[in-house]
Amino acid sequence: MRSSKPGKKPQPSIPRGTLIGVFDPWRSSLCTCPLKYSLNPYTGCSHFCLYCYATSYIGLRKSTPKKDYRERLLRDINKIDPRYHIDISTSSDPYPPEEEQHRITRWTLEQLLPRGFRVLIVTKGALVARDADILSKGNAAVTMTITTMDRTLAAKLEPGAPSPRDRVKALEKLNEAGVPIGLRLDPVFPMLTDDEHSIREVLEAAAAAGVRFVVTSVYKARPDNLRRVLSAFPELEEEYNKIYRARGERISGYWYPELGLRIRILEKVRAIALRLGLEFATCREGLQHLNTAPSCDGSHLIPTRIAQKGYQRQLDAWLRS
């Protein structure tokens, strides 16, 4: 395996104990996200995706609301700068099945959106459509992850998540309500979901639901998620050992497939996306020249419906402290 040691991105310091933190892409040197916040109402994730990157940091456990969440969020709201948007969520899903009962993501939106904060929802939960009423009134956009339209394959890859068809229906409802929507075709698996037909099915379904932006990346392996993927798809073991371990390269703690393979897969997605009139971006690939979208994370989709007035710009001071 080749080893790559790209320069480290400067990391802002994050005050201890805050719920809304400055987004840290787990020290990925290839992340092109704008400076933004990250907020996870839940710890753990009941979607149990085989390829989840977060499990190597927080373990494999079902979604549980964070302790003292409401008090902590109300306290943090006074510390953040509305120039920067808030991703909900980056290391858990804000719409797991538990949200139906707890409603803490909805409560979060009820706090943030009327105050004019800019919010980007990142989810696989079809339940997000329940909140179309409030999302459509605020500075909010939704990106939905769909990796395949094959229901059986999706049930293996993402056993706790809604079916791809239900996710598309949620996108349709959000679009009808006027909520800007994007697609995360993320990740694409070599030899599993990287064929033209599979990619086209996802992009066409999303485009028909009103999506105008897609971001994508090729599966990057970490020891724990690779173990889970190979135990579900043992037939991939030999090829994945070649793709990831023998020919791949290690970047920021992940095994990446060799660059040529990644470019072939990403260009396939790009060609279909452009044919469908979608904006295109790549995630943590170091291949920004392929992007046609103004942001890689879909934050350019967030509309300004509620203006923030009289706000003290505190983030710079906060980051310096």
Q: Which two tokens stand for residue 159?
A: 């056993």
Contacting ligand SF4 (CB under 6 A), which of 32, 38, 43, 92?
A: 92
Footprint on residues 44-83 left by ligand SF4 (CB under 6 A) = 45, 47-49, 52, 54
Nearer to ligand SF4, 48 or 219 (CB): 48
Region of 14-22, 40-48, 249-257, 286-294 interacting with ligand SF4 (CB under 6 A): 40-48
Contacting ligand SF4 (CB under 6 A), which of 85, 106, 118, 124?
A: 124
Nearer to ligand SF4, 90 or 295 (CB): 90
In a 3-state reduction of DSSP, which class is residue 270? helix
Distance separating alpha carbons of residues 1 and 244, to the nearest angstrom = 8
Beta carbons within 8 Å of 275's beta carbon, 6+ residues apart: none
CB of 45 to ligand SF4, least distance (A): 3
Nearer to ligand SF4, 95 or 240 (CB): 95
In a 3-state reduction of DSSP, which class is residue 311? coil
Distance separating alpha carbons of residues 217 and 220, to the nearest angstrom = 8
CA distances (Å), origin 321, targets 9, 79, 82, 89, 222: 19, 12, 19, 25, 33
Distance separating alpha carbons of residues 272 and 168, to the nearest angstrom = 18
Chain centroid to Cα 267, Å, comes to 20
CB of 304 to ligand SF4, least distance (A): 28
Nearer to ligand SF4, 139 or 282 (CB): 282
**If binding means CB under 6 A, how many residues of this protein chain bind ligand SF4?**
9
Footprint on residues 93-112 left by ligand SF4 (CB under 6 A) = 93
Q: Which amino acid is at 278?
A: L
Residues that bind ligand SF4 (CB under 6 A): 45, 47-49, 52, 54, 92-93, 124
